[in-house]
Amino acid sequence: MSNTMNIGISKRKVFSIITMLIAIVIALAWTIPLFWSIVASLRPVGEPFARGHVWFGSGFSFYNYKHAFSLAPFGRYFINTILLVITVLAVQLVTSSLSGFAFAFYKFPGKTILFMIVMLQMMIPTVALLVPNFQTIRSLGLYDTILAMAMPFWGSAFGTFLFRQTFMGIPRDYGDAARVDGCNWFMIFKNVYLPMSRSTVIAFSISSISWHWNSLLWPLIITQSDTARPLTVGLARFTQLGEVGAQWGLMSAATLIVAMPLIILFLIFQKRFLEGYMNSGLK
């Protein structure tokens, strides 16, 4: 009796060790690209990659980073990216919270149709409409500016949707009571609704920032000089520079210059990131 129980327990133990090992292997495999690029970017100059020499060089050096910065103005790109994500997010937060509030709190003729028009933007990616949007930006005289990259995203269906969802979860009585007390819409919005949507603000901000930090095609089309180019466009051009070729150390350094700020933020605020994205799904 006690014998069979022992076997049962050890079987379970073996099983749990095996599943843990599989988990570790998968997790390691998943992170190899990032680990490799970190290691590769630190390879000393003049040590080419070849069969059997794909990981560590003879030591570590920051040469590749210095070289990358000398070949392309990554500092300028960095500032542009920061300006871009701020310009997008700041406006989006205002427009989306207001429209989300309107769709959640008010009843008005045409509400459904207006909501559907806004939601159209979630179904049809703005970047797919690059031909006419390019024309619009040109006629506005904004070509090759931060505004040109940001403006098409100032109205956000996703943001509107998220805020509407959040606000609909707040009991109407709160808003109605405030209205009876003589509060106007702005006081209701600011004092009742906004304070209850903190996690939505965070969730939306995280997704908006990483979305626009990482976007390539639209900024690539709508910029032509380093004064406006963001990091992603800088990197895409960098990989195609003649003198960069297949210098993997240098490419890795450039890649990480672009990716690291977000990766570091993510590692620091892991929980917020994961929860933010979890909150942004459909409930």
Partner 1 sequence: MNDLTKKKKVSAIPYLLILPTLFFVILFTVYPLIASFKGSFFIHRLNIPKYREPVFCGLENYSKLFQSEEFRLILLNTVKYVVVLVPVTVVASLFFALWLSKERFRKFRVAIFHPAVLPLVSAATIWMFFFTPDYGLFNSLLGLFGYKGPENWTGNPKMSLWALVIISFWKDAGFYMIYYLAGVQNLPKDVYEALRIEGAGPIVSFFKFTLPLLKRTTLFVTTVAVIGAFRTVDHVIVLTQGGPSNSSSLLLYYLWQVRFEHLNVGLSSAITIILVLLLLIFTITNFLVSEKGGDNV
Show contacts with partner 1 in window 62-81 (CB under 8 A). none
**Could you tell me the two tokens for 24?**
């570790």
- Give 97: exposed, middle or buried? Use CB within 10 Å, 0-12, 13-18, 19+: buried
- Cβ proximity to partner 1: between 86 and 217 the closer is 217
- Give 254's DSSP letter: H
Tally Cβ neighbours within 10 Å of residue 272: 16
Among 6, 10, 136, 227, binds partner 1 (CB under 8 A): 136
Do residues 238 and 257 lie in contact, with contact meaning Cβ atoms separated by under 8 Å? no
Q: Which stretch binds partner 1 (CB under 8 A): 3-11, 61-69, 166-174, 227-235?
A: 227-235
Tell whether residue 200 is a contact of partner 1 (CB under 8 A).
Answer: no
Contacting residues for 213 by C-beta, under 8 A, at least 6 apart? 81, 85, 231, 232, 261, 262
182 binds partner 1 (CB under 8 A): no
Number of amino acids touching partner 1 (CB under 8 A)? 95
Q: Which of residues 101, 167, 193, 204 is near partner 1 by CB under 8 A?
A: 101
Whose structure tokens read 């920061």? 82
Give the nearest distance from C-beta 94 to partner 1 in angstroms: 7
**133 touches partner 1 (CB under 8 A):** yes
Q: What residues contact 203, with CB distance under 8 A and at least 6 apart? A: 162, 275, 276, 277, 279, 280
The minimum distance between CB 236 and partner 1, in angstroms, equals 5
Indicate whether 263 belongs to the interface with partner 1 (CB under 8 A). yes
Q: Could you say which of 82, 83, 98, 202 contacts partner 1 (CB under 8 A)? A: 98
Residue 41 C-beta: closest distance to partner 1, Å: 10
Nearest to 279 by CA among 202, 193, 164, 167: 202
Q: Which is nearer to partner 1, 51 or 180 (CB)?
A: 51
In one-letter notation, the amino acid at residue 144 is D
Q: Residue 180 and residue 174: Cα distance in Å, rounded?
A: 10
Q: Which of 85, 221, 223, 229 binds partner 1 (CB under 8 A)?
A: 221
Closest CB 88 distance from partner 1, rounded Å: 11
Q: Which two tokens stand for residue 268?
A: 């620091």
Residues 11-50, mask of contacts with partner 1 (x by CB under 8 A):
---------x--x--xxxxxxxxx-xx--x--------xx
Residue 3 vs 150, nearer CB to partner 1: 150
- Shortest Å distance, C-beta 1 to partner 1: 22
Comparing CB distances to partner 1, the nearer of 2 and 217 is 217
Name which of residues 138 to 157 contact partner 1 (CB under 8 A): 151-157
Of the candidate spans 5-13, 94-102, 171-179, 194-202, the one that interacts with partner 1 by CB under 8 A turns out to be 94-102
Q: How many CA atoms lie within 13 A of 102 on its CB side?
A: 15
Instruction: Write down the H helix ranges in 42-150.
Output: 63-71, 74-105, 111-123, 130-139, 146-150
The Cα 244–Cα 237 span in angstroms is 10
